[in-house]
Amino acid sequence: MKWWMLLKVALKSIARNKMRSLLTMLGIIIGVGAVITLVALGQGSQQDIEGQVASLGTNLLIIQPGSSRFGGVRGGAGSLGTLALKDVTTLRRNAVLLAAISPEVRVQSQVVAGANNWNTSVFGGDPNYLEIRNYQLARGRSFTERELAARGKVAILGRTVADQLFPGEDPVGARIRIRNVPFQVIGILAGKGQSAMGSDQDDVILAPTTTVLYRLGDGKTLRAIVASARSAEEMEPAKKEIEGILREAHQLAGGEDDFRLRDQSEINQMATRVTGTLTLLLSAIAGVSLLVGGIGIMNIMLVSVTERTREIGIRLAIGARPRDILAQFLVEAATLSLFGGLVGIGAGLGGAALGGRLLGISLVVDPFIIGIAVVFTGAVGIFFGFYPARKAANLNPIDALRYE
């Protein structure tokens, strides 16, 4: 029998029992729809996380002080206080794989502007700190080397701080007070939004390192040293170079590192591990729905074989071969499953679009996943339809004709 004839017979059989066919396809529709939705949202959230990690800086390397240890008591990360401005100078002089490097100082303080005030983080850095941390200026300018050397009292406000201190106003040129030290606002940062860890990247003030360290801080240790590798391919060699330079500068010899070095890949892996695992688990649950849908197809095909026993007997009696009967029922099962898969794909795309809008997640539709879903649903129909099809093909024509 020609394949187009088999498809025509299958479509007629499905159309004869529309409601039963729809209920049979329901498991496939739910399974495929759930897989498409979860994968699209999972890949979208991963893309968002990668974008947020990229917003932290370009080929970013972060050097932090190590943890202190007194007897059996160990302090937290950064408690050792081993990084100083001389380490930045040493790295600048000796490192060849770094495009830029800057110290980083941070204080938490109440900031006052006229009748308004706001508690925020004040970060100190060199003029290239903005480039390393991937900050863009919306208005104004950055601080200069001269202001860095003179401990200039100038500040660049993040979008959130600007909105809180100067609602509806342009703050460039205005005065603010940080710990009773007057600062002039020289610029406004472009918005970066929320980080992968959930913090507001616009709730910051940037100022020269020396100003924050000596006028607002303790004048001794750095919170971190941030650097930018020349390229993504040179991240690992750059890390090894930094480790060697700092170990020699700190005279560690065979001892443990008194600093901690992190890069974007570690941050990205940590941020995406949970979403990847969750997507995998939920997709596995959706796969169970496909299994249930396949069992439903097998059941309905067994019922169809029973109902059409006389028809099968007539076909066999007039010359149809067992393999024709086998092919007929396999095509019918595969068609039923594919229809369910196509409807499920549409439902999944709609669900992903709705979920992305409600949750604020980007939607990433991978055509490869859709292709896999179509092939898989067809395979489910053939796999679960094989037993009923074989049962129909093995019927004895005489017994089938006598069946009431």
What pLDDT does 3 receive? 62
Q: Are residues 129 and 196 in the same domain?
A: yes
Q: Are residues 218 and 287 in the same domain?
A: no
Q: Are residues 276 and 252 in the same domain?
A: no
CB atoms inside a 10 Å sphere around CB 111: 21
Residue 161 main-chain phi, psi, to 5 deg: -65, -45
Residue 387 lies in a domain: yes
Q: Are residues 281 and 235 in the same domain?
A: no
Q: What is the mean pLDDT of the chain?
A: 81
Q: How far apart are CA 63 and CA 92, in angstroms?
A: 14
Residue 263 lies in a domain: no
Residue 305 lies in a domain: yes
Stretch among 89-93, 137-141, 209-213, 288-292 having the lowest mean pLDDT: 288-292
Residue with tokens 């408690």: 79
Of 233, 257, 281, the residue at which a domain comes to its end is 257
Model pLDDT for residues 377-393, shown as the tens digit of each residue:
888 888 888 888 888 88
User: What is the mean predicted confidence (pLDDT) over 324-353?
Assistant: 84
Residues 197/206/193/110 CA torsion (nearest 10 deg): 80
Residue 181 lies in a domain: yes
Q: How confident is the model at residue 73 (pLDDT cuts 50, 70, 90)?
A: very low
Q: Are residues 350 and 245 in the same domain?
A: no
User: What is the mean predicted confidence (pLDDT) over 27-45?
Assistant: 80
What pLDDT does 48 receive? 67
Residue 223 lies in a domain: yes
Q: Are residues 88 and 236 in the same domain?
A: yes
Is residue 277 over pLDDT 50?
yes
Is residue 150 over pLDDT 90?
yes
Q: For the stretch 65-88, what's the b/e string if a residue is b when 16 or more beta carbons lie within 10 angstroms of its beta carbon?
A: bbeeeeeeeeeeebebbbbbbebb
Task: State which residues form the domain around 187.
Answer: 83-257
The residues that bridge with 123 in the sheet, in sequence order, are 106, 206
Q: Which of 241, 233, 348, 215 is nearest to 289 (CA)?
A: 348
Q: How far apart are CA 155 and CA 142, in angstroms?
A: 9
Q: Are residues 139 and 185 in the same domain?
A: yes
DSSP count for the chain of H helices, then E strands: 13, 12
Is residue 270 over pLDDT 50?
yes
Domain count, the chain: 2
What pLDDT does 214 receive? 92
Of 225, 257, 289, the residue at which a domain comes to its end is 257
Q: How far apart are CA 33 and CA 344, in angstroms?
A: 4
Q: How far apart are CA 110 and CA 178, in angstroms?
A: 6
Of 257, 291, 316, the residue at which a domain comes to its end is 257
Q: Are residues 298 and 154 in the same domain?
A: no
Is residue 185 over pLDDT 90?
yes
Residue 71 lies in a domain: no
Residue 334 lies in a domain: yes
Is residue 33 over pLDDT 60?
yes
Q: Are residues 137 and 205 in the same domain?
A: yes
Q: Are residues 103 and 242 in the same domain?
A: yes
User: What is the mean predicted confidence (pLDDT) over 353-361?
Assistant: 79
Residue 66 lies in a domain: no
What pLDDT does 348 receive? 85
Model pLDDT for residues 188-198, shown as the tens digit of each residue:
999 887 765 56
Q: Are residues 166 and 245 in the same domain?
A: yes
Stretch among 99-113, 231-245, 272-286 having the lowest mean pLDDT: 272-286
Q: Are residues 89 and 211 in the same domain?
A: yes
